[in-house]
Amino acid sequence: MAAPVLVVVAHGSRDPRHAATVHALVERVRSLRPGLRVETGFLDFNVPSVPAVLESLAADGVRDVVALPLLLTRAFHAKADIPAVLRAAPARLRIRQAEVLGPSPLLLAALERRLYEAGLTPADKSSTGVVLASAGATDPEAGAVIADIAREWWRTGWCAVRPAFASASLPRTEDAVRELRALGCERVAVAPYVLAPGFLPDRIARGAAGADVLADVLGPAPEVARLLLRRYDEASRPALTALGA
């Protein structure tokens, strides 16, 4: 039987860089698993919408779908928006919602990749303080996860790692940069814990003005693409078992 179709559910943005980055990531996923059908749907601002993608799959005769939230934390979109959209899908579709991407060691590897691409080296870790700058969320669970990730990442050898948020929570990126300066770190780097460019990532970049290094967004990093497939496999395994795979 055919494997479930992977539907990547992205937030969407008025910023055209957002959709372009999402599509680049999805293309990397396709390149890693050529036999897998992968579609992309957006919750807002961009097309195709998630409902339109699901309607099209149902019209094609697809039965099994894994809907994968392109999100780093379990906040409102993962807990409310996406389940509501999936509940309204055509009845013929059997849909499993995969877990969000984070936290994961693969994301830490992608963050370090971006920092090294921005000019740091592994030898710089012990003298560099890092701001783990996320978009922010009103959900306290999401904020606590970011703080946990910062502590875990610090244990890998960085001088210090401080979480920061572009919205909803404090501290802001610029505040964390100042804190790391005061702590005595030889250099300060900002690592955006975001998947694609947009309004809040731009706010992070402005807050990084006092840092020595600003990494790029995670985007289509190979580790992120591998993580998408891992979440897909985790979610589709029961469906594949039921199909006799």
The pLDDT score that the predictor gives to residue 137 is 81
Give the Cα separation of 193 and 143 in Å (integer). Answer: 12
What is the residue type of 68? L
213 token code pair = 């290094």
Place 126 in a pLDDT band, splitting at 50, 70 and 90: very high
User: What are the E-state strand segments in 176-216?
Assistant: 187-193, 213-214
Asked whether the predicted pLDDT for residue 41 surpasses 80, the reply is: yes
User: What pLDDT is recorded for position 157?
Assistant: 98
List C-alpha distances in Å: 16 to 7, 12, 21, 196, 221: 20, 9, 9, 10, 19
Q: What is the pLDDT of residues 161-178, one digit of tens each?
A: 999 999 988 999 999 999
- The string of pLDDT tens digits covering residues 47-87 is 999 999 999 999 999 999 999 999 999 877 788 899 999 99
What CA–CA distance (Å, rounded) separates 132 from 173?
A: 8
* CA count, 13 A, side-chain hemisphere, 62: 24
DSSP class of 165? E
Q: Which band of pLDDT confidence, cut at 50, 70 and 90, is reported for residue 239?
A: low
pLDDT for residue 242 is more than 50: no
225: Cβ–Cβ under 8 A, 6 or more apart, which residues? 25, 28, 29, 31, 32
